[in-house]
Amino acid sequence: MTGYLPVGFEFAAEITYPISEGTSSGLLNASAQAFGIVLTIVMRQLMTKVSVLAANIATCVLLAVGTLLTIMVKEDLKRQRANELQRDPPTPDDESNVSS
């Protein structure tokens, strides 16, 4: 999972542009910490009251749900598009070709 974090932070910065990268990474870190705390408490209760197998199955289900949610995220690379527009601003000829 640790190898996925830089990719996730970069993607979050892309889809939340023009919000600063620090804000999106800070919110991701805070939500990951909160989720980790809740998940630790819930899994501990599940292990003591039900079984370790139940906690493992619940973890696998949560990972599968997270994978599906990740797949469903719409890829909208706003920051990359803004950088390309700064490098090559559209000319009046480009705009007339788009409208026809």
At 96, the pLDDT band (50, 70, 90 cuts) reads: low
Mean pLDDT over residues 61-83, rounded? 82
Mean pLDDT over residues 1-12, rounded? 76
The confidence score (pLDDT) of residue 24 equals 85
**Angle between helix 52-72 and helix 21-49 axes, rounded to 10 deg:** 150
Average pLDDT in the chain = 82
26-65, pLDDT tens digit by residue?
888 898 899 889 999 999 999 999 999 999 999 999 989 9
